[in-house]
Chains A and B, each alone.
Chain A
Amino acid sequence: MLSRLVFLSANSLRSSGLIGAGLVQASRSLQTSSQRLAPVPPLPDHGGKVRHGLIPEELFEFLYPKTGVTGPYMLGTGLIVYLLSKELYVINHETIYAICIGTIIVYGVKKYGATVAAFIDSINEEKVAKAQAAKDSHISFLTEAIENEKKEQWRVEGRGMLFDAKRNNVAMLLETNYRERQHMVTNEVKRRLDYQIALQHLNRRLQQEHMINWVEKNVISSITPQQEKESIAKCIADLKVLAKTTQAKAAA
């Protein structure tokens, strides 16, 4: 009953953690079998309807077929009048207190009930939202992790390529080495042959020069002083003849 009092006019009060759990635990305790049963169905959004904050609608529904709309009111009025007249409920100073405090409570709940309910709801919402966010991030983390693992497995498949590359390198190096050796051999043989040829040319040249020098030397040494005088006289005579001819030419 007290739980319904709280539901009152603040219809926005949804199943808050404390009270909701209490209600649900109450209904859960009825599931007494030891097996795990299906999850408890979600709580209804609004509590049972009440009239005047106290009396559940079911009473009015129950009495409607027999006594119509005014039935429960007549019942209530009759009960109150009976209690007062028979002094089963005595009116004393506590009645006044009850009336005053009741008025204040009703006024307070009517005025501020909605906002307080919303605030409490928001606290609970925050908790649930945090939990939900944690759950979502964990799910996304797991999916990512699975993705990454699959990717790593794919990467590992390419390991053969590394070794192919290495073997290729080795083969290329060997081939290069072999070619270099061939080239070296050819070049060396060529160099030696060229050397021989160059040597021959050098020899030839030296021989020629030597011979020329020797011939010149001999010729010069064979010119005796006698011959030299004769050749000088001949040269002078020739020059005289030449001079005469040129004089004649110039005169003519």
Chain B
Amino acid sequence: MSGRRAALKAIDWLAFAERVPSNQRVMFNALKTRTDAISAKLASLPETPPAIDWSYYRSAVAKAGLVDEFEKKFKALQIPEPVDTQTSKINAQEVEANKSALDFVEKSKVRVVEYEKELEKFKNMIPFDQMTIEDLNEAFPETKLDKVKYPYWPHKPIASL
């Protein structure tokens, strides 16, 4: 049957662990323990069951033909492979995750561009002791005093002094 023994992809758990952010560490640990349990169970089962010694049974069992019948039926038996219901779901999840990841990366890139722009602005600012009040208002618009709304000194509501 094809599809049996789908090759297990080797997973580098160390590299995987590095990439896990701290808020998902618990889930990662749970996944790891589960995986370890499953692989331990797999390793404990031998690949093929021990063969049945038909000649011994043929000589030992008195009933004629019983052993032969058993042997025939046993050899003809095809054990059905367990059906794989989850892989398609996992693939769908992966596609979704890829989409949202690309989304996130896009947004992250936009944020990085913003940050870098601000960083440039800050780095290229003239030093404070060479600034005038007008320069300060240009660089930090929030320091500009609204002389129209508050025409009298200190040009801002007293409570915010």
A233, B48: Cα distance in complex, Å: 74
Is the C-beta of A159 less than 8 angstroms from some C-beta in chain B? yes
Contact partner, A196, options B34, B35, B61, Cβ 8 Å: B61
User: B29 interface residue, CB < 8 Å from A?
Assistant: no
Interface class of chain B by DSSP: helix
B123 A139 Cβ-Cβ under 8 A:
yes
For B46, give the chain A residue with the smallest CB separation: A179
The reply to whether A146 and B119 form a contact with Cβ atoms under 8 Å apart is: yes
Partner of B115, one of A15, A149, A170: A149
Asked if A158 and B15 sit within 8 Å, CB to CB, the answer is yes
| Contact B62–A200 (Cβ < 8 Å) | yes
Residue numbers in B under 8 Å from A164 (CB-CB)? 9, 11
B146 on interface, CB distance cutoff 8 Å:
no
Expressed in whole angstroms, the Cα–Cα distance for A196 and B112 within the complex equals 78
Would A165 and B115 count as touching, CB distance under 8 A?
A: no
CA distance A24 to B82 in the complex (A): 86
A-B contact pairs, 18 of them (CB 8 A): A40-B130, A128-B128, A138-B122, A139-B122, A146-B116, A159-B97, A163-B93, A168-B8, A168-B9, A171-B6, A174-B82, A176-B45, A178-B81, A179-B45, A179-B46, A187-B49, A193-B70, A197-B57
Is A42 an interface residue when CB atoms closer than 8 A count as contact?
yes
Instruction: Determine the distance from Cα of A117 to Cα of B59 in the docked complex, in whole angstroms.
Output: 119
Q: Is the interface of A mostly helix, strand, loop or mixed?
A: helix
Kindly list the 6 A-B residue pairs having the minimum CB-CB distance in the complex, ordered from nearest.
Answer: A158-B19, A186-B49, A163-B94, A177-B82, A179-B45, A142-B119
* B window 4-41: CB within 8 A of A: 4-6, 8-9, 11-12, 15-16, 18-21, 31, 34-35, 38-39, 41
Q: Are A163 and B129 in contact (CB under 8 A)?
A: no
Of chain A, the residue at the smallest CB distance from B104 is A156
- Residues of chain A in range 105-141 having any CB-CB distance to chain B below 8 Å: 128, 131-132, 135, 138-139
Q: Say if the beta carbon of A153 comes within 8 Å of chain B.
A: yes
Interface residues of A (CB under 8 A from B): 15, 21, 24-25, 28, 39-42, 128, 131-132, 135, 138-139, 142-143, 145-146, 149-150, 152-183, 185-187, 189-190, 192-193, 196-197, 200
A197 to chain B: which residues have CB within 8 Å?
57, 60-61
Q: Which residues does chain B contribute within 8 Å of A177, judged by CB atoms?
A: 82
Q: A156-B104, A179-B45, A179-B47 are in contact. Are A146 and B112 (CB under 8 A)?
A: yes
For chain B, the count of residues having a C-beta within 8 Å of the partner chain is 71
Known contacts A149-B115, A150-B112, A182-B79; A176/B90 CB under 8 A: no
Which of B11, B49, B67 contacts A193, CB < 8 Å?
A: B67
Residues of A within 8 Å of B20, CB to CB, are 155
Min distance, Cβ B37 to any Cβ of chain A, angstroms: 10
B10 to chain A, nearest CB (A): 9
A128/B129 in contact, CB under 8 A:
yes
Closest to B32 in A: A165
Q: Are A135 and B122 in contact (CB under 8 A)?
A: yes
Whether A161 contacts B15 by the Cβ 8 Å rule is: yes
Instruction: Decide if B79 touches A178 in the complex (CB within 8 Å).
Output: yes
Q: Tell me the bound Cα distance from A159 to B52 in angstroms.
A: 47
A28 to B133, CA, bound (A): 11
